[in-house]
Amino acid sequence: MNPKTWIEVSESALRHNAQAFLGIAKKAKVMAVVKSNAYGHGLVESSRVLSKAGVHWFAVDHIDEALALRRSGIRKPILVLGYTSNHRLVDAVKNKISLVAYNVETIKALGKGRGVAKIHLPIETGLTRDGIRLEDLPSMIKLIGKYPNIEIEGTFLHFANIEDTKSRAYADHQLNEYKKALAIFKEHKIDPKYKHTASSAASILYSDTHFNLLRVGIAMYGLWPSVDTQRRTRRLSLGPVLSWKTIVAQVKQVKKGTPISYGLTERMPRNGTIAVLPIGYADGFDRVGNSRRGHVLICGKRCKVMGRVCMNMAMVDVTGLKNVGPESEVTLIGSQGKSSISAEEMADLAGTINYEIVARLNSEIPRIVVK
């Protein structure tokens, strides 16, 4: 296989990051969040490495991701964080996949089914997303109690701004609301086996959020949830897991003043050399951020993107570089020699976050596990 673009997943970096979180978890277990194709890193490829590294749980967004893990040989517990349609609930129960549940309709559908259904109840504490309000929790617990085949395996919350290290006030408010929910469970003589509130940032910064299960997403891949989080911690080092590469498709000499790409938005500033790359925004190479401003690495040097990024192509200035020709290797994210381009750099140019840059990488691009 000789793809025109590919993503390399560093096994050593991924194992290192997993071991770092297993270390700070102490007695708690670690759930690796591998939703959305493992944040662009490859669902099956990353999960196999993480399973061998010792993580205890996996979290996905939808039932098909969970089933893909089961087919790949992952037998560890899996939690579907996203919504599961009623007609797909049977697939979860059959394959011993735990579900997040917050609708009455979901509970009733599970109760009518066969087999033990394990659910995690999300508590609405201030994110105003999926979750059960405190005032609705007693009635939900009573409803679940009508169905002996439903087990409340866990309960959790999602922090709204735990990455904001300047003030923990809102996170503390959410945590206090969650503790009220735990008191309600206790009143009903229920003690969910797993309690999880710690996202990546919370896992790193605040041990009092750990309970007995850490839910680690972006940081598992060596990407920091925020600059503040990175600045505040000396507890662990994280290594970026992903490198994104392509090849040169064509090299051509271009005269000064020649327009480059659609819209004639940029002209060659001098007589020079352009390399055409066989990737574009359909692959996840952001059009807004990279057009006229982004860089790639060729021969260990930063080469500026010229003109607009196309759907399947982009042009870069390689003037002065020697030995550049068709199929020369190009790094879009990662390192070459002493130079590097990070997902954070690309995110800054696009006005977004590193999460989005890697999660948007086209799932059809091959993910190759390297040492």
pLDDT tens for the 371 residues of the chain, in order? 689 999 999 999 999 999 999 999 999 999 999 999 999 999 999 999 999 999 999 999 999 999 999 999 999 999 999 999 999 999 999 999 999 999 999 999 999 999 999 999 999 999 999 999 999 999 999 999 999 999 999 999 999 999 877 889 999 999 999 999 999 999 999 999 999 999 999 999 999 999 999 999 999 999 999 998 998 887 789 999 999 999 999 999 999 999 999 999 999 999 999 999 999 999 999 999 999 999 999 999 999 999 999 999 999 999 999 999 999 999 999 999 999 999 999 999 999 999 999 999 999 999 999 99
Among 232, 251, 283, give the residue marking a domain's end: 232
Angle, to 10 degrees, between the axis of helix 11-25 and the axis of helix 43-53? 50
Q: Are the CB atoms for 60 and 66 separated by under 8 Å? A: yes
What pTM was estimated for this model as a whole?
0.96
- Find, among 164, 242, 166, the residue nearest to 201 by Cα: 164
Inside any domain, residue 142: yes
State the Cα–Cα distance between residues 249 and 280, nearest whole angstrom. 13
Task: Return the active site residues.
Answer: 35, 262
Locate 260 and state its tokens: 């480059």
Locate 364 and state its tokens: 């059809």
Among 188, 207, 232, give the residue marking a domain's end: 232
Inside any domain, residue 2: no
Number of structural domains found in the chain: 2
Inside any domain, residue 6: no
- Domain coverage including residue 205: 11-232
Domain at 36, CATH number: 3.20.20.10
